[in-house]
């Protein structure tokens, strides 16, 4: 994974340009489709994919910047879903297959992938037909293809084009309106209608890379959201005057902000470390990614809760954006299982590493 430094994008510049683009499109109310095309034309979708495969060959730190910036503006999940699939599968699909062609189109933004692999292999194959329900999928409704894991003549990662007569997407009423949460029902999809990205050990390797990548992306998304709502809170505290001074001068307020800043600094340090570990595939990078998501998610919860209290009455209103972060932080937790399930899953690896 080592590469000459001159080929690396400047992360500060990448962050600035991403923030400008996303802020600008929010102000101009650019349509989701138009923004998607812009993002694709900038190469964001394949930013970490090798150059041979048509990507920009950047380490995870570049993706982290994009995930954070999208989290700041409460972006839909489509970018994370497509990017997780693309980056994990680009290295394993065989060249010049239909699956390879699909990934190239995904990198150009012509197709949108939904990531159903977070739920593991919850769809069964019976008599050549896919049956089952995948719960709590984000933004599946706009996807042109669903990516999922099945066990059919061994483990496989497959894609299913949408819409499909035997697939029903049942949207859930969710508090978080920044993403669409849906259950995807497979009512007998013919496996002939699907294409295979990876099978056997390659599928298992890709699935575990996808899980770690998704965890890191969600951690970055949480960090971006937390930093945005924290920055807005600080600004409000400096502006709001009571007793003839900005309420930011009260120690009762300052100490809580300092604690939040400490949590954010911790989340950032852990995210940088886990991202580097993922790029280098060093040590137990899978557990590190999961731990990073657990911590990042808890910090997003903490910061978005405090943001509302620190804003006072205005923070309790629908008009103010605080509640959007509070809701997104909760909703993010359910993707691919609950935090306690993640704790249980990494406990053996963490505990083994601590032996005397």
Stretch that binds another protein, among 72-80, 150-158, 232-240, 323-331 (CB under 8 A): 232-240
Q: Which range touches another protein (CB under 8 A), out of 53-61, 158-166, 197-205, 233-241?
A: 233-241
User: What is the rounded CA–CA span in Å between residue 253 and residue 60?
Assistant: 36
CB 277 within 8 A of CB 288: yes
Is 344 an interacting residue with respect to another protein (CB under 8 A)? Answer: yes
Q: Which of residues 272-291 bind another protein (CB under 8 A)?
A: 272-273, 288, 291
Q: Note whether 343 and 294 are within 8 A (CB).
A: yes
> Is residue 242 near another protein by the rule CB under 8 A?
no
Alpha helices in 78-170 (DSSP H): 78-89, 98-107
Assess 232 for contact with another protein (CB under 8 A): no
Taking the complex as a whole, the smallest distance from the CB of residue 246 to another protein amounts, in Å, to 6
292 C-beta neighbours (distance < 10 Å), count: 27
| Pairwise CA distance, residues 6 & 183, whole Å | 45
Shortest Cβ 336–another protein spacing (Å): 17
Measured from the CB atom, the residue of 136 and 298 that comes closer to another protein is 298
| DSSP structure class, residue 136 | E
Does 346 participate in binding another protein (rule CB under 8 A)?
Answer: yes
Residue 193 or residue 302: which is nearer to another protein going by CB? 302
Strands 167-171, 181-190: pairing is antiparallel
Phi, psi of 146 (to 5 degrees): -100, 135
Residue of the chain from 170, 269, 314, 338 that contacts another protein (CB under 8 A): 269
Query: What do you get for the CA distance between the two ends of the chain, in Å?
Result: 33
Stretch that binds another protein, among 5-13, 88-96, 213-221, 336-344 (CB under 8 A): 336-344
Closest CB 267 distance from another protein, rounded Å: 8
Stretch that binds another protein, among 64-72, 108-116, 216-224, 250-258 (CB under 8 A): 250-258
Answer for which of 44, 138, 295, 300 binds another protein (CB under 8 A) is 295
Residue whose CB is less far from another protein, 151 or 282: 282
12 binds another protein (CB under 8 A): no
CB of 19: closest distance to another protein in angstroms? Answer: 20
Q: Does 354 bind another protein (CB under 8 A)?
A: yes
Q: Is 42 or 350 the residue whose CB approaches another protein more closely?
A: 350
Using CB under 8 A as the binding rule, whether residue 250 contacts another protein is answered as yes
Rounded distance, CA 28 to CA 99, Å? 36
Q: Are 99 and 195 in contact (CB under 8 A)?
A: yes
Q: Is 355 in the site for another protein (CB under 8 A)?
A: yes
- Of the pair 135, 250, the CB lying nearest another protein is at 250
Q: Is 137 in the site for another protein (CB under 8 A)?
A: no
The alpha-helical segments, DSSP class H, found in the chain are 11-27, 32-41, 60-72, 78-89, 98-107, 201-239, 251-280, 285-311, 322-333, 339-352
Which burial class, exposed, middle or buried, applies to 154 when counting CB atoms under 10 A from its CB (0-12, 13-18, 19+)?
exposed
Contact criterion met (CB below 8 Å) for 63 and 104: no
Q: Is 245 in the site for another protein (CB under 8 A)?
A: yes
Beta bridge partners, 168, equal 185
Put residue 283 in one of left, alpha, beta given phi > 0 → left and psi -120 to 50 → alpha.
Answer: left
Cα(165)–Cα(260) distance, integer angstroms = 48
Cβ proximity of 123 and 135 under 8 Å: no
Contacting residue, 98, 258, 314, 338, with another protein by CB under 8 A: 258
Using the minimum distance from each CB to another protein, give the nearer residue, 249 or 309: 249
Q: Return residues touching another protein (CB under 8 A).
A: 234, 237-238, 245-246, 248-251, 253-255, 257-259, 261-262, 265-267, 269-270, 272-273, 288, 291, 294-295, 340, 343-344, 346-348, 350-352, 354-356
């Amino acid at each position: 994974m080592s590469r000459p430094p001159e080929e690396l994008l400047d992360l500060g510049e990448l962050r600035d340009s991403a923030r400008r683009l996303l802020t600008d499109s929010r102000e101009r109310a650019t349509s989701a489709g138009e923004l998607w095309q812009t993002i694709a034309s900038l190469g964001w979708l394949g930013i970490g994919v090798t150059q041979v495969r048509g990507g920009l060959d950047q380490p995870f730190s570049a993706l982290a910047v994009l995930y954070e910036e999208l989290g700041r503006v409460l972006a839909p999940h489509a970018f994370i879903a497509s990017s997780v699939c693309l980056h994990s599968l680009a290295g394993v699909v065989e060249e010049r297959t239909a699956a390879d062609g699909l990934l190239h189109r995904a990198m150009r933004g012509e197709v949108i992938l939904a990531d159903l692999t977070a739920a593991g292999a919850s769809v069964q194959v019976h008599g050549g037909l896919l049956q089952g329900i995948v719960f709590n999928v984000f933004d599946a409704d706009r996807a042109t293809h669903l990516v999922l894991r099945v066990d059919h003549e061994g483990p496989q990662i497959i894609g299913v084009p949408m819409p499909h007569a035997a697939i029903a997407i049942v949207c859930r009423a969710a508090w978080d309106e920044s993403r669409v949460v849906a259950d995807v029902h497979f009512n007998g999809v013919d496996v002939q209608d699907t294409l295979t990205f990876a099978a056997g050990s390659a599928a298992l390797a890709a699935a575990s890379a996808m899980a770690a990548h998704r965890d890191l992306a969600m951690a970055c998304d949480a960090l971006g959201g937390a930093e945005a709502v924290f920055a807005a809170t600080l600004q409000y505290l400096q502006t709001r005057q009571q007793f003839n001074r900005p309420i930011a001068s009260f120690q009762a307020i300052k100490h809580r902000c300092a604690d939040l800043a400490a949590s954010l600094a911790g989340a950032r340090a852990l995210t940088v470390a886990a991202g580097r570990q993922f790029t280098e595939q060093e040590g137990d990078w899978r557990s590190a990614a999961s731990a990073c998501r657990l911590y990042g998610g808890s910090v997003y919860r903490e910061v978005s809760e405090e943001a509302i209290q620190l804003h006072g009455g205005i923070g309790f209103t629908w008009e103010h954006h605080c509640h959007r972060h509070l809701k997104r932080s909760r909703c993010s937790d359910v993707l691919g299982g609950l935090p306690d399930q993640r704790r249980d899953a990494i406990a053996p690896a963490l505990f083994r590493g601590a032996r005397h």
